[in-house]
Amino acid sequence: MPPPAVPGCGCRACAERTRSTGAGPGGADPARAAPVVLVLVGAAGSGKTTLRRRLLAAAPQLPVVSLDDLRRELRAADAAAGRPVRALQAYSLPAVRRAQRRCQALAGLGAGYLADATHLRRAERVAHLRTAAAAHLPAEAVLLPDLPPAELLRRDAARPADERVPAGVLARHAHRRSLLSAPALLADGFAVVHELPSPPGCTTMAGGCSRSPGTARAKGGGTDVVAAVGTQRARSRGAVLVSAAGRGALAGLAGVAAMTVGEKAEQALTHRPDSHVPGRALLGLLGRPAGDAQRPVLANHAMHWGTGATLGALRGVWSVLGMRGPRAHLAHTAVRLSFDQTAENLSGAGAPPHTWPVREQVVDVVHKAVYSLVTGLVADRLVAPRLLSQRGTDSH
């Protein structure tokens, strides 16, 4: 189902969708308005339900995945089965899990969907970006107004008693929303950010629509802020990469620690002595070649942990770019082995691996695979794929 225009947004995408309404026997022309994953972002009480109703009025067949609806479904199922009925918020965790399954199913069918929840945490938004990328669908965000806590409390008081949000939760929502902006959501990876205007009487951010670099500017109504944030977005990308590299370095240190524990366990069984080749390689690269009898302990530790952190930083960059999971673990193992052998042979401290005893080759590969696996698991946990690209999937 092609998405409708977002009410209150006058960007070019919404204008094209408005013009395409009624084109062809099925309404909107799918060639001009392909399905998208549309993610609402805003605090509880900021107008998501009202916006959803207006979107569905324009496109009744638009699939919706709503956490509130799923909580009600789960509570109704408990009541129908004679089980104790809990407070609505107590159903949040199973509702989130059910929502993830529905989103993945809808995206897998190429239908797109409207995600109705607060999505104030980056991890929640990134989940939709991953789902959209896996299905080759564009992802768009709708940023609702940044309302003050007092207004959110006033609106919440009008809800049914069992659907009200605690004041402390609303305060956190208001704080998290105040930290968000259209450029921040673009940096997350959304192709388009529709920024809705504030309601009369409220002082909030101005409305408009932001697009990723390279897309057309908005025309007629709304404010396209690409020109104002282009430099900021470039800086933001750099900051995201630096942050990912830093977290990856920490992941690399965790990988080295796991590898060291594995090595000590293996040495206890095989009685293999400690290797000081890494330290000799470091000294050789620094122009201070060491003989085979030397045991440069400090240089050994520096090379051991420094290499782990450096290649961990690379793995963190992979994670933020969407190069994640088992394939990335395998590729990173090859990178780690290649780096070590290049450094050791370049410095003259090592020999080509094919000249080693087979057992030594196996031991080296296993330990480096442990390093890369642990580093990758930690990096993928610490770093979200904020810069995942959907370009270049075809040879042309």
Closest CA relative to residue 144, chosen from 240, 59, 232, 55 = 55
Closest CA relative to residue 191, chosen from 218, 210, 217 = 210
Closest CA relative to residue 128, chosen from 67, 177, 175 = 67
Task: Judge whether residue 290 has pLDDT over 90.
Answer: no
Mean pLDDT over 246-269 rounds to: 95
Confidence at 227, pLDDT banded by 50, 70, 90: very low
Q: Distance between the two ends of the chain, CA-based, in angstroms?
A: 28
Task: Judge whether residue 207 has pLDDT over 70.
Answer: no
Structure confidence at residue 162 (pLDDT)? 80
Q: Are 371 and 312 in contact (CB under 8 A)?
A: no
Lowest mean pLDDT among 150-154, 269-273, 306-310, 382-386: 382-386
Structure confidence at residue 25 (pLDDT)? 38
Task: Judge whether residue 340 has pLDDT over 90.
Answer: yes
CA dihedral 160, 163, 166, 167 (to 10 degrees): -50
CA angle at residue 331 from 328 to 335, to 5 degrees? 130
Closest CA relative to residue 208, chosen from 199, 220, 196 = 196
Structure confidence at residue 27 (pLDDT)? 43
pTM above 0.85, yes or no: no
Confidence at 3, pLDDT banded by 50, 70, 90: low
Structure confidence at residue 233 (pLDDT)? 45
Structure confidence at residue 372 (pLDDT)? 96
Structure confidence at residue 299 (pLDDT)? 92
pLDDT, tens digit, 9 for 90 and up, residues 50-62: 999 988 888 888 8
Closest CA relative to residue 281, chosen from 349, 336, 383 = 349
293-to-48, 275, 283, 284 alpha-carbon distances in Å: 71, 11, 14, 14
Task: Judge whether residue 209 has pLDDT over 80.
Answer: no
Task: Judge whether residue 121 has pLDDT over 80.
Answer: yes
Q: Given CA atoms 391, 393, 395, 396 in this order, what sign does their dihedral have? A: negative
Lowest mean pLDDT among 45-59, 215-229, 237-251, 313-327: 215-229
Q: Which residue has the higher pLDDT, 288 or 394?
A: 288
| % of the chain with per-residue pLDDT over 90 | 48
CATH class name, domain 12-224: alpha beta
pLDDT, tens digit, 9 for 90 and up, residues 61-83: 889 999 989 999 999 999 999 99
Mean pLDDT over 107-132 rounds to: 92
Segments of the chain assigned to CATH 3.40.50.300: 12-224
Residue 289 Cα to chain centre, angstroms: 45
| % of the chain with per-residue pLDDT over 70 | 80
Structure confidence at residue 30 (pLDDT)? 39
Confidence at 332, pLDDT banded by 50, 70, 90: very high
Confidence at 167, pLDDT banded by 50, 70, 90: confident
Mean pLDDT over 105-125 rounds to: 91
Q: What are phi and psi of 47, to 5 degrees?
A: 115, 15
